[in-house]
Amino acid sequence: MTILETVRERAVAMWEKNGLLDENVTVAAGPLTAEQAIGTPDDTDFPVLKGKEKLMEAGFRNSRGQAFTDHYGPYSGRLSDVAALPLKDNFERAVFVATLNAVMRNLGLARQTVHCRDQDPTTCAAGMPEFIKRNYGPRRITLVGFQPAMIEALNTAFELRVLDLDPDNVGQVKRGVLIEGPDAAEDALRWADMLAVTGTTLANASIDEFLERKPILFYGTTIAGAAEIMGWPRYCLKAS
């Protein structure tokens, strides 16, 4: 069983316990524009601003949840339909993860399920080094996922390596750090004292590669609901 399947199993048990699967409530999900997702930050290097990914947003009752994905589109169905999705591609996974975040938010079990906007991503990133020093105290960090503000902030405080899947980033030096690709992943993961991993790994099914590793800190909104269900540590300072 994959990690995401384990998350779903626990989520569905919670939904059943709360009587949600019998409700005739429609889950509506769809991609946001870049401005809807993140506003107008000064930093223009975020993947969502370049069209590489979009935020899928799901609405359940009066609550919202989001998930980053590179495979997006509209979706409508009952919560029981979402629970039955095969989770075989990034679209289905994004629908499920965004819905999970919306439902967890509605139940009062998760916060910060909607991405921060404008200058808040930079402010959030600026607080990350102190948070990590206080809770982990590492010397070397491998950041999984290209997040430019976090790269800049972490590189001032730690030895840093960055892994990303986007071929337009791999091999480039950005914010003073070489962005490395899948071929360097094993070495970069062994090298680090701790990992800071984007929650998008839950929606793209790569999370299993990281969870059995050394101390790990997830960041972002995508993993909000799953982090609460599974007890994973998460950093997300400014999201709503």
pLDDT band at 214 (very low <50, low <70, confident <90, very high): confident
Is 75 within the bounds of a domain? yes
Residue that terminates a domain, selected from 106, 132, 155: 106
Q: Which of 51, 74, 106 is the last residue of a domain?
A: 106
Question: Which of 47-61, 75-89, 105-119 is most confident?
Answer: 75-89
Least confident of 115-124, 179-188, 198-207: 115-124
Neighbours of 229 (CB within 10 A): 20
- What confidence tens digit (pLDDT) does each residue in 126-135 have? 999 999 999 9
Residues 200, 205, 209, 212, CA torsion sign: positive
Looking at residue 240, its pLDDT comes to 63
Which of 106, 128, 150 terminates a domain? The answer is 106
Q: How much is the average pLDDT of 96-113?
A: 96
- The number of residues making up the chain comes to 240
Q: Are residues 164 and 59 in the same domain?
A: no
Residue 111 lies in a domain: no
Kindly state whether residue 115 falls inside one of the protein's structural domains.
no
On whether both 97 and 51 belong to a single domain, the answer is: yes
pLDDT at 51: 46
**Confidence (pLDDT) at 54:** 84
Q: Name the band, by pLDDT with cuts 50, 70 and 90, for residue 17.
A: very high
Residues 59 and 148 in one domain: no
Structure confidence by residue, pLDDT tens digits, 125-177: 899 999 999 999 999 999 999 999 999 999 999 999 999 989 999 999 999 99
Q: What separation in angstroms does the CA of 44 have from each of 18, 60, 129, 218?
A: 42, 31, 22, 23
Same domain? For 124 and 102 the reply is no
Could you tell me if residue 147 is inside a domain?
yes
Minimum mean pLDDT range among 6-15, 18-27, 173-182: 18-27
- In this prediction, what percent of the chain has a pLDDT beyond 90? 73
Q: What is the mean pLDDT of residues 106-124?
A: 88
pLDDT at position 205 over 70: yes
Q: Are residues 89 and 185 in the same domain?
A: no
In angstroms, the CA 153 to CA 176 distance is: 11
Residues 99, 196 within the same domain: no
Domain that holds residue 204: 120-235
Query: Do 48 and 153 share a domain, yes or no?
Result: no
Mean model confidence pLDDT for the chain: 89
H/E/C letters for each residue in 174-202? ECCEEEECHHHHHHHHHHCCEEEEECHHH
The reply to whether 124 falls in a domain is: yes
Residues 153 and 82 placed together within one structural domain of the fold: no
Structure tokens at 96: 């499920």
For residue 39, tell me if it sits in a domain. Answer: yes
pLDDT at 226: 98
Asked if 53 and 155 sit in the same domain, the reply is no
The residue whose two tokens read 């984007």 is 198
126 and 90 in a common domain: no
Sorted by sequence, the CB contacts under 8 Å of residue 186 that are 6+ apart come out as none
Please report whether residue 112 resides in a domain. no
Q: Are residues 55 and 124 in the same domain?
A: no
Within-domain flag for 114: no
- The pair phi, psi for residue 26, each rounded to 5°, is -85, 130
Q: Do 102 and 124 sit in the same domain of this protein?
A: no
Q: Tell me, what CATH number does 142's domain have?
A: 3.40.50.11590
Q: What is the pLDDT of residues 25-70, one digit of tens each?
A: 678 876 767 666 455 555 555 554 444 678 899 999 999 999 999 8
Total domain count for the chain?
A: 2
